[in-house]
Amino acid sequence: MTVTVPSGGGGLPDRPSGSGLADVIDTILDKGLVIDAFVRVSLVGIEVLTIDARVVVASVDTYLRFAEAVNRLDLEQSKEGLPELIGDVTQGVAHNKSKGVAQGVIEAAGEKLHDYIAGTVEEPEPERRVRRRSGG
Amino acid sequence: MSSSTETSRPVGAAARGEGGIACYVYGIVPEDVDISPDAVGVGDPPGRVRLIRHGEIGALVSDVAVDRPLGRAEDLVGHEALLDGAAAEVPVLPLRFGAVLTSPEAVVGELLEPHHDEFVAALKEIEGHVQYVIRATYGERSVLHEILADNAEVRRLRDQIRGLPEDATRGERIRIGELITQAIAAKREADTQTVVDCFAPCTVAAVIRDATHERDAANVAFMVRLDQEADFEMVLGELRREWADRIDVRVLGPMAVYDFVTSA
């Protein structure tokens, strides 16, 4: 059968995502058909080691990091004119997504995982191992 | 299209597979597919992938030992690599990581048979489609400059903490960070909408994913027809040019349509 491969030009990846493990986790731990929505009887109780690696978007740590980044930005920068005019900032739209005390632990775990990712994972070549029968 | 919040993770008292071996399920495909002998998935060593057929559909499975935990980095990558490789060739309904049934009979009796017609219909619907994910991230310096320029309160607080130790200005620093986070959230909402609108003409459907990084500008999954890929790529190029100075745009895929198969 004909295989459609994205045309060249550097836009789309020319093979299935060579993405990092963090991206893989976002996808396959959070998305996809959930089997226990269908089946409850004979799922095996295998321990699944994965963690919820979702990074908390707003936390005190994040706030302090941003503050320091702004502080540094200011030092690095000469008096590159900050506009006098104040734009209409739509702060009202934002909402705080703070998720409580566990977040530090989760973030730490996430970081650890990222370290792990950086080192050890070998991406298997995503070759075409599942295909329509010839003639199909 | 709302995803169930239940997880397919440990089901405590469930039955064990025969001889400590059970069936790990990756996804559902049409019955008429071939699997090459070197296709492997999760486990250590990785299990050989095979097809369990029923009617017009089949389940991609491999044997897995029940006494060993799953979830090493290699397992996660193995699961996705198999499905994404398959999705490039055939329609696939991808399962979330970690679905294990006791036996091949259970795969047929509890998964394929009861849902045969639904799966057939869903496979027909996604035939010829793949998923791409657009992940856009603000450059830290550029987004902070934008926010400083726009927000007098942040500028005022920044002047207040200047030259003072962190301990003495903790309150102000937290406030600055909070304001910046809020400003980014507002930008994210606008830029996510831009991404959705830009790609709408060359995609079939979109799912906005939750932000998973504090500088996420957009995180959107698109279902793309194979004949739309060239247009998708063109729009991607335009967006990258437009955002070159402020936002990094990455694209993941082609992958199985993970974001579009959650049970209704």
**pLDDT tens, position by position, A6-52:** 333 446 665 544 467 888 888 888 888 886 544 444 455 566 665 55
pLDDT of res. A17: 45
Has residue B253 got a pLDDT over 60? yes
> Which residues in chain A are contacts of B28 at CB distance < 8 A?
33
**Residue B248: its H or E element:** strand B247-255
- Alpha-carbon distance of B79 to B94, in angstroms, equals 10
> Which residues in chain B are contacts of A57 at CB distance < 8 A?
181, 185, 211-214, 216
Has residue B60 got a pLDDT over 50? yes
Q: What percent of chain B has pLDDT over 70?
A: 92
User: Residue A53: inside a domain, yes or no?
Assistant: yes
ipTM higher than threshold 0.90: no
Tell me phi and psi for residue B252, to 5 degrees.
Answer: -110, 140
- Structure-token pair, residue B10: 């440990």
User: Residue A66: inside a domain, yes or no?
Assistant: yes
SS3 (DSSP) at B141: helix
Q: Which of A104-108, B95-99, B117-121 has the highest mean pLDDT?
A: B117-121
Contact assignment for A69 to B90 by CB distance below 8 Å: no
User: Where does residue A101 rank: exposed (0-12), middle (13-18), buried (19+ CB within 10 A)?
Assistant: exposed
CA distance to partner chain A, nearest, from residue B184 (Å): 8
Q: Does A78 touch chain B (CB under 8 A)?
A: no
Question: Pick the residue with more confidence: B27 or B13?
Answer: B27
> Which residues in chain B are contacts of A124 at CB distance < 8 A?
40, 77-78, 81
CA distance to partner chain A, nearest, from residue B118 (Å): 12
CA distance to partner chain B, nearest, from residue A82 (Å): 6
Contact B256, B94 (CB under 8 A): yes
Average pLDDT for A45-67 = 70
Per domain, the residue ranges of chain B are 18-127, 130-260
- Alpha-carbon distance of B264 to B132, in angstroms, equals 21
Quick one: DSSP state of residue B95? B
Has residue B130 got a pLDDT over 80? yes
Average pLDDT for A112-119 = 46
> Which residues in chain B are contacts of A21 at CB distance < 8 A?
73, 76-77
Question: Pick the residue with more confidence: A10 or B194?
Answer: B194
Quick one: DSSP state of residue B111? I
Question: Pick the residue with more confidence: B72 or B50?
Answer: B50
Q: Does A35 touch chain B (CB under 8 A)?
A: yes
Is the backbone peptide bond immediately before B254 cis, with ω within 30 degrees of 0? yes
Contact assignment for A83 to B89 by CB distance below 8 Å: no
Has residue A135 got a pLDDT over 60? no
The Cβ of residue B173 has, within 10 Å, a number of other Cβ atoms equal to 26
Contact B259, A31 (CB under 8 A): yes
- B244: pLDDT confidence band, cut at 50, 70 and 90? very high
Domain limits for position A67: 21-78+99-120
> Which residues in chain B are contacts of A130 at CB distance < 8 A?
29, 33-36, 39, 49, 60, 82, 85-86, 89-90, 92
Contact assignment for B100 to A44 by CB distance below 8 Å: yes
User: Residue A42: inside a domain, yes or no?
Assistant: yes
List CB contacts of B228: < 8 A, sequence separation 6 or more: B202, B203, B204
**Alpha-carbon torsion, ordered B208, A123, B57, B28, to 10 deg:** -40
Contact assignment for A73 to B145 by CB distance below 8 Å: yes
pLDDT of res. A32: 84
Contact A99, B56 (CB under 8 A): no
- For B84-106, write each residue's pLDDT tens digit: 999 999 999 999 888 888 899 99
CA distance to partner chain B, nearest, from residue A102 (Å): 16
H helices of chain B, in order, are 73-87, 104-106, 116-126, 140-150, 152-161, 170-199, 229-242
Question: Pick the residue with more confidence: A53 or B221?
Answer: B221
Has residue A77 got a pLDDT over 80? no
pLDDT of res. B105: 94
For residue B3, which of B82, B71, B94, B105 has the smallest C-alpha distance? B94
For chain A, what is the domain count? 1
List CB contacts of B169: < 8 A, sequence separation 6 or more: B160, B161
pLDDT of res. B15: 42
- Alpha-carbon distance of B221 to B255, in angstroms, equals 10
